[in-house]
Structure formats: structure tokens, C-alpha cells
Amino acid sequence: MTVAIVGAGAAGAAIAYALRDADADVTVFEKSRGVCGRAATRRKEGCRYDYGANYVKDDDERVTRLLTEELDTNGLVEVEEPVWTFDSAGEISPGRDSDERKWTYEDGITQLAKRLFAATDATVQRETRVETVAREEGRWSLADAADTVLGSFDTVVLTPPAPQTAELLAAMAWDDDRRVAAHDAVAAVDYASVFTAVLHYPFTLDRSWYALIDTDGEHPVGWLAREELKPGHVPEGESLLVAQMGHDWSGDRIDDDRDQVLREAVGHVAELLDDDRFAAPDWTDRQGWRYALPDGGVTGDAHRSTEDAGLYFAGDWVAGEARVHAALRNGFAVGERIVEARNAKTY
Ligand SMILES: Cc1cc2nc3c(=O)[nH]c(=O)nc-3n(C[C@H](O)[C@H](O)[C@H](O)COP(=O)(O)OP(=O)(O)OC[C@H]3O[C@@H](n4cnc5c(N)ncnc54)[C@H](O)[C@@H]3O)c2cc1C
């Protein structure tokens, strides 16, 4: 069986992992240079920081077992300090009772996909954007923007965020009602945008929280976290704040000049912390996530009707929850269905 997975995020990595003993020839196509998608890590000036997903939660038993038992646990770290809250007026209060565990890796959250792929024989082709998918003689043919054929496969799984998957479905050469129905269902999934501001300071921050979350959803800042509380991420004596700006605020600015948006974000962070020192980070980084978080997930089962033809969908938007553990769980489930379908044909 030949399987193509489009996207090397958490869902794509979990599918490859679920197929590792299935006698399947798996190729993963990823448009960017790295793996793990929106669970993303960068390095700069001796720091490492998770600037997309902050951590993986222990909300799913299968995922917890994966992280704490199946994959190499070397460098797996927990953030133990609490999450506090603030309201639209910027009033900070001690937190949200929660005993959830929050994991990342010393080398960053991208280790998750790296370790999943390392446990498989899958071929991961980075910097390869799949532009077209065509049904030809009962198989799936994939090509890039230059029309170079990337291969022909029995099964293909699309894991990009729903709007990008909908584009692939719209352009797909497959004259079938199931494609149209799947396209309409996938295209209907809405997304929130998030602007991420990363702010470094050459001094420590004396507070007892790991992160602050806006409980009203009306403040310009949605979430503010201290990356230095993740072991191995920030050298001693320094602070690195990761501000995920609010959905409305970010959505209104997603096409604006990124440096200008960053300057505004820095001002809001300094105001929230009520300390002018935070208005002057010594270095910064930023990312505008147009398709950051699906608002719920795909509804109905039109996206499942294509599975008979070997076309599958996976990701947080299929799971219906914008979380890494949900994308992983969905990837495992899709991988298992691919194996079952193959076995049903074989026997
Ligand atoms: C700012 C932010 C903060 C978040 N915080 C948290 C958090 O704290 N905890 C948590 O659990 N979750 C969090 N999330 C959500 C979490 O990141 C996602 O739910 C999860 O990473 C989704 O994984 P996925 O595999 O479904 O999709 P993705 O990670 O988006 O993976 C899809 C992959 O497909 C690739 N791709 C797209 N189009 C193509 C193409 N045409 N060809 C080839 N490759 C393609 C993309 O480059 C990407 O790598 C956050 C997300 C954001 C953006």
C-alpha cells in the first residue's frame, strides 16, 4: 500500500506513526522547512521558544501514553507554574484551578513530530507544497506548483488547515459528487487568526505565574506566557515573553504591516504588566497565524464519504478541537482506519 500524507504537523506525524507496522510505503509532503506545523519552535540568540502551540496537555490518555511511555522521554519537560487570569480591564488574578499537565521538550515542541517520524520508515519531503491532487485510473496523483509529479498513491490524506484543504479540493481533478460535498463541508470551517509577539529582556521577571489568560476575550492580549519557565529554553537571568494576541485584535490586523502590529503588541504587554521596562525588549520576533485555530470543526460526514476512494482528512479541524492532542488523536484514528480498509480489501 502506498500512502501520501500532505502536511507534517501533529496529525500527519500521528498518521505516519499509526502506519509504522502496516507494511505501507508512506511519503509525507510538507511545504515548510520544518515539521510539526503550528506546534512550532524557533531558535534565536541562545533561546528556544514555542511560538505556536505553547504545550501539549494531558487531556487524552492515548497521547499521554505516547509522550510519557512510547516515545523517547529524554528532554520531555513539564511547565509546573500556574496559569493566572486577567480581564478586559487588565486586572490580573491568581488562577484558574487546574491540575492539567503541560508538556514540551527542552529542544522545543517540534520534537514531538520529529520523534514520531523517527519511529517510522516514512519519507518526509520538506519544502514541497502539494498544489494539485488528481484521480487517475483508481490512484491519486500529486503534483507541486511547477506541475512536477510527486508520485502516485493508493491512499492520500490531507491535513492542512481546512481553508487550505478546501483549496486543494476545489482544484482537485476528480469528477465525483463526493468531492463537491467534502469541499463544501471543509470550506465551511471558520478560523480565528492569532498574531504572536515574542519579546526578549536581559533581566528576570519576578512573578509567580507561568502564563496569563484573558478570561473575557476582549483584551488586545489573549495569552501571555513566560518561555523561561520551560527548562532549556532561555538562558539564566533572561526573560522571554510569548504574547498570543486576542482573536479580534489579531484578525483586524492580520494583513497589516507586521512590524507596526508588533510595536502595538509590545505596548499592550507593557501596560498589562504595569511596568515600562517591558516596553523596550532588546530583541523581538513575530508571526501572524492567519489560520490559527479552527472554530469548532467540520460538521456532518461528507468528509468521510471519500474514504472508500482512498481520500482521507485529518487534523485539529477534523477532531473539532484546536489542540495538539486532538490533532494527534485524530491522526491515530485516521491511520487505523487506513489499515482497516487495506485489510478489508486483502482478505
Ligand atoms: C498561536 C497558537 C497557539 C496555540 N496554542 C496551543 C496550545 O497551547 N496547546 C495546544 O494543544 N494547541 C495549541 N494550538 C493549536 C495547535 O497548534 C494545533 O491544534 C495543532 O498543531 C494542529 O495540528 P495539525 O496537524 O492538525 O495542523 P498543522 O499543525 O497546521 O499541520 C498542517 C501542516 O500542513 C502543511 N501544509 C499546508 N498546506 C500544505 C500543502 N499544500 N502541501 C504540503 N504541506 C502543506 C503545513 O505547513 C503544516 O505543517 C495553538 C495554535 C496556534 C496557532
State the pLDDT at residue 346. Answer: 67
Q: Is the CB of 289 under 6 A from ligand 1?
A: yes
Check which CATH number belongs to the domain holding 306 and give it: 3.50.50.60
Q: Which atom of ligand 1 is nearest to the CA of 244?
A: 1
Stretches in the chain below the pLDDT threshold 50: none
**209 alpha carbon to ligand 1 midpoint, in Å?**
26
Residue nearest to ligand 1 atom 15, measured at CA: 323
Kindly write down the DSSP assignment for every residue of 74-126, as one continuous string: TTEEE--SPEEEE-TT--EES-------EEEETT-TTHHHHHHHHTS--EEE-
Q: Is the CB of 322 under 6 A from ligand 1?
A: yes
State the pLDDT at residue 100. Answer: 86
Residue nearest to ligand 1 atom 14, measured at CA: 53
As given in the structure block, the three cell numbers for residue 172 are: 482537485
Q: Is the CB of 30 under 6 A from ligand 1?
A: yes
Give 198-233 pLDDT, tens digit per residue: 999 999 998 999 999 999 999 999 999 999 999 999
| Domains contained in the chain, number | 1
Of 196, 327, 184, the C-alpha closest to 250 is 196
Residue 247 neighbours by CB distance under 10 Å: 19
Q: Which atom of ligand 1 is nearest to the CA of 330?
A: 26
Q: Is the CB of 291 under 6 A from ligand 1?
A: no
Domain range enclosing 100 = 2-346
CA distance 333 to 191: 23
Give 84-94 pLDDT, tens digit per residue: 999 999 999 99
DSSP-derived 3-state class of residue 66:
helix
State the pLDDT at residue 19. Answer: 98
Q: Is 341 left (phi over 0), alpha (psi -120 to 50) or beta?
A: alpha
